[in-house]
A and B are shown apart, each in its own frame.
Chain A
């Protein structure tokens, strides 16, 4: 059996599955049940300063996007940070840490962007026995209007400044949670790194409006006829999160900075992908909110099953394996030539590949009177669209043309020497020696 234990910036947990800071981690009752169900750690719902807590709307907080059969694909929320008093949260955190010493307990914090505010809260958090803190620079709604959350996360200088304060005023490891609502994720990551962060976690939610009611013209979720943008999360955001994680993992300045991967983790496979891109663990919110805490059992069994099959004894054995394979477009091998191949035995003759290619791609699929679909190699640019629209898995595949064969589309012989855009004759800044 694979060993799923992780040591993330010195924080140990029995498995890499943490619950992200959100409603599932808002109180002792939830966290206790989460740990009983098997979660390796939790990032407590974001704490604010002492004093009267924030208030939430009293109408709906969520909007959603569904796939067929009402599968929840994306969730949008307009919830704020914890609306329970700081003392209550701290007291409960302490109890939890006492009762579950082997699990990771992280305090997420969001206080005004003033040194005093951070200095004031840190000793209280330290008191709970929490293993670390996460700085919430991500929340894109509500809190950002008050100069916190994403309003900080969008200004790298602020990130660096606050991170530095925290490193100064606490011995606890500092994880900086990044907002994806920014054009280039490397800048805030570099800022966190420069400020001395032990790790970054990402992504927080993406600003979004999930839908508009076409009767009363209110965005959803509608609060008395009005709506406000919310934060988008769930399976739909995973590709965005993976890319941002990869950008940080391969950036010269931040390479090696520990990353906690968040965004759409729903199955063991999602988690493994984040880990392959360098994450030391993953955090989960929407999947738990959709299916309940028990969902972690599949994540645990699936990940250990995968690792056993691959012969990985521990998480470190495959962590970051995909990072060297993430590259810039310009370095992709242009001598890698493929063609679509349709398996006639599997084909159910729906014609979707034909419609896609004929109408929107390269007219590279032929259709006979009796609905036989074939690829025209002379036209196929190997875009893969037919594969993606085909309802039958593996019916259409992309097959590589072996070196030495002639690509009927270009008339050129396929070379076995990789060659990329930097060396291409059409590239005006071609640097390769001809």
Chain B
């Protein structure tokens, strides 16, 4: 039996299974061969192409697109994977409208960039569908490196180290590898269990062992890792979340958006995932958008994202804001929560209007209230363990290619300073740290 969208409280199965399946289907279906040929044909093969500069992993985009255009998608995939071993996931999740496609000269000329992300998916899917792994390992070096965290940063680092002939042991606190690829990214961006398929394919390089349920700070210490391995890479992401800091934020029905998303991503059956009738999401980033859109797709009657600053200050891109709007999610700007109402259980959120002044945001006297039987907080994630390393603005301080305050410890991805919190940035940082670890360990060898 399906609950209606109008039923109050947090309920599973607000929509029938077919509608749910449709709602969570591939948000941007793959290009077929002809579409890819037409899309590839639009690339001008620019000199010193701005799209390459805009890609955090510096993929040679004109080259791979030309390789698609000339009928060699495998060669195209290789060009991508040489720079970005998670090129398959990045093709699905990168905010290309802020990266390569924003830089595309056709964006400037016609407002319609070459569809780089979709072409990347076409190439990587073609190669991955066959299951073979395009790289081989160098001669064994006899060195072993511990990588903590099997998210994009850790995986990219481990793969590059394995390619150089090192052995790698990855420790991850969670039962499954992939990091936010598995537990965070919106379901409709990475359908058909792609995150796990990608990890399996990546591991085919060999030389990488994965230790599940092994958490730094809980099961292992940094000192033990330092003495047990030749080097350590930390790619532990941001495991904690910021709290609202308002009275009543422990009311039932209030939870971090990331928890909700992880639950949704892990559900085998979407009809079992409960969602509120009136959902309020507090925040202005990708997490807020994903929580809002997915609540709506699960069948919430109305979903409102409330952000305390203006539209342009949102870290979610215009494209993502549009995506939310298209799915019927309302976004309110310049309002901040002041009070959570409800008797044990949340039933409404009271907001004040904000104004940006020299002193920071000020709150208006006037307030308004939104009904809410579920509230998701998406106001930032935090480092869950510092492992005794020097921090900077709440993240592990790094210089160069992920060098931390300890000479045999590197860090990259969301947990470290520098770069945006994006999958592709994590991949770039993991890869570059691996190169630096390799260079350091092999010095004089």
A267 CB within 8 Å of chain B: yes
Contact A268 B63 (CB under 8 A): no
Number of residue pairs spanning A and B whose beta carbons lie under 8 angstroms apart: 42
Within B57-113, which residues are at the interface with A (CB < 8 Å)? 62-63, 66-67, 69-72, 74-75, 78-79
Contact A69 B41 (CB under 8 A): yes
A294 CB within 8 Å of chain B: yes
Of B41, B62, B72, the contact of A268 (CB 8 Å cutoff): B72
Assuming A268-B70, A269-B71, A297-B63, what are 19 further A-B pairs, CB within 8 angstroms? A69-B42, A267-B66, A267-B69, A268-B72, A292-B45, A292-B47, A294-B45, A294-B47, A294-B63, A295-B45, A295-B66, A298-B67, A298-B75, A301-B75, A302-B70, A302-B71, A302-B72, A302-B75, A305-B75
Chain B residues near A269 (CB, 8 Å)?
70-71
CB-CB nearest 10 A-B residue pairs: A301-B75, A267-B70, A298-B66, A305-B75, A302-B72, A305-B72, A291-B45, A302-B70, A292-B47, A298-B67
CA distance A292 to B79 in the complex (A): 18
A306 CB within 8 Å of chain B: yes
Contact B67 A302 (CB under 8 A): yes
State how many angstroms separate the Cβ of A269 from the closest Cβ of chain B: 6
A interface list, Cβ under 8 A from B: 69, 71, 267-269, 291-292, 294-295, 297-298, 301-302, 305-306, 392-393
CA distance A421 to B47 in the complex (A): 53
B34 CB within 8 Å of chain A: yes
Within B23-60, which residues are at the interface with A (CB < 8 Å)? 34, 41-42, 45, 47
Contact B72 A306 (CB under 8 A): yes
B interface list, Cβ under 8 A from A: 34, 41-42, 45, 47, 62-63, 66-67, 69-72, 74-75, 78-79
Q: Which of B67, B69, B79 has the largest count of A CB atoms less than 10 A from its CB? A: B67
Of A71, A295, A301, A392, the contact of B79 (CB 8 Å cutoff): A301
CA distance A267 to B70 in the complex (A): 7
State how many angstroms separate the Cβ of B323 from the closest Cβ of chain A: 29
Interface of A: prevailing SS: helix
Chain A residues near B69 (CB, 8 Å)?
267
State how many angstroms separate the Cβ of B195 from the closest Cβ of chain A: 28
Contact A298 B74 (CB under 8 A): no
Chain B residues near A295 (CB, 8 Å)?
45, 66
Of B34, B67, B74, B79, the contact of A393 (CB 8 Å cutoff): B34
State how many angstroms separate the Cβ of B145 from the closest Cβ of chain A: 28
What are 16 inter-chain pairs, A to B, with CB distance below 8 A? A267-B66, A268-B70, A268-B72, A269-B70, A269-B71, A294-B45, A294-B62, A297-B63, A298-B63, A298-B75, A301-B72, A301-B75, A302-B67, A302-B70, A305-B75, A393-B34
Contact B78 A301 (CB under 8 A): yes
Residue of B nearest to A67 (CB): B41
Residue of B nearest to A297 (CB): B63
Chain A residues near B62 (CB, 8 Å)?
294
Chain B residues near A301 (CB, 8 Å)?
67, 72, 75, 78-79
CA distance A302 to B64 in the complex (A): 11
Chain A residues near B45 (CB, 8 Å)?
291-292, 294-295
Chain B residues near A298 (CB, 8 Å)?
63, 66-67, 70, 72, 75
Chain A residues near B67 (CB, 8 Å)?
298, 301-302
State how many angstroms separate the Cβ of A284 from the closest Cβ of chain B: 14
Chain A residues near B75 (CB, 8 Å)?
298, 301-302, 305
Chain A residues near B71 (CB, 8 Å)?
269, 302
Chain B residues near A392 (CB, 8 Å)?
34
State how many angstroms separate the Cβ of A206 from the closest Cβ of chain B: 25
Chain A residues near B41 (CB, 8 Å)?
69, 71
CA distance A184 to B56 in the complex (A): 55
CA distance A302 to B78 in the complex (A): 11
CA distance A245 to B62 in the complex (A): 32
CA distance A292 to B45 in the complex (A): 9
State how many angstroms separate the Cβ of B436 from the closest Cβ of chain A: 26
CA distance A268 to B41 in the complex (A): 16
CA distance A295 to B75 in the complex (A): 14
State how many angstroms separate the Cβ of B43 from the closest Cβ of chain A: 10
CA distance A267 to B71 in the complex (A): 10
State how many angstroms separate the Cβ of B42 from the closest Cβ of chain A: 7
State how many angstroms separate the Cβ of B123 from the closest Cβ of chain A: 12
Residue of A nearest to B47 (CB): A292
CA distance A298 to B61 in the complex (A): 12
CA distance A223 to B71 in the complex (A): 41
Chain B residues near A306 (CB, 8 Å)?
72
Residue of A nearest to B42 (CB): A69
Chain B residues near A291 (CB, 8 Å)?
45
Residue of A nearest to B62 (CB): A294
Residue of B nearest to A68 (CB): B41
Residue of B nearest to A309 (CB): B74
Residue of A nearest to B49 (CB): A294
Chain B residues near A305 (CB, 8 Å)?
72, 74-75
Residue of A nearest to B65 (CB): A298
Residue of A nearest to B60 (CB): A297
Chain A residues near B79 (CB, 8 Å)?
301
Residue of B nearest to A391 (CB): B34
State how many angstroms separate the Cβ of A322 from the closest Cβ of chain B: 18
Chain A residues near B47 (CB, 8 Å)?
292, 294
CA distance A161 to B71 in the complex (A): 45
CA distance A184 to B34 in the complex (A): 39
CA distance A295 to B45 in the complex (A): 9
Chain A residues near B66 (CB, 8 Å)?
267, 295, 298
State how many angstroms separate the Cβ of B113 from the closest Cβ of chain A: 14
